[in-house]
Amino acid sequence: MEKDEDGGASPAHKSWGTSLGDGQLDGDRWFHILFKLFFPVGVYLAFLAAVMNMSVVGRIIGMRADHIISAVVCGSLTIAFIVAFIAKVGARMYQQGVGTLVIFILMLVQVACVAYLVQLRYKMSRERTRSSRED
């Protein structure tokens, strides 16, 4: 990477790390700019699609409409804050090095697996207590 007169990276030859790390559009290549424009929108649309169809699920399990709306709004805001936090920490990890980012992603996967297992265990224990009450 070329250096400018101040000893920094030349804006005409930014890498992905430099482009995403500095938050400036000066010197970005066209694909850096497209990524910065469309990636946040894509992440939001993916989470909006996930939100987790929960209005349909809520109606199926018999929730009232006002409770469903409240649950979807709270869930959307929570997901937005979590995504923003993970993106900020991930960007900082990437600035430190790709290896650090990989470790961060692996930790996120582990946390997600543990959360799933805890939820599955809770569901199974709830089913057991329900079946023991019926007997």
Which of 6-10, 36-40, 107-111, 129-133 is predicted least confidently? 6-10
Which of 3-7, 21-25, 52-56, 71-75 is predicted least confidently? 3-7
Q: CA quadruple 105, 109, 110, 112: dihedral positive or negative?
A: positive
The mean pLDDT of the chain is: 78
Q: What is the pLDDT of residues 37-86, one digit of tens each?
A: 788 788 778 777 776 677 777 888 888 888 888 888 887 788 888 888 88
Q: Answer whether 68's CB lies under 8 Å from 58's CB.
A: yes
Domain boundaries, the chain: 1-47, 51-96, 97-135
Q: CA quadruple 89, 90, 93, 94: dihedral positive or negative?
A: negative
DSSP-derived secondary structure letter, 13: G
As a whole number of angstroms, the distance between CA 135 and CA 126 comes to: 15
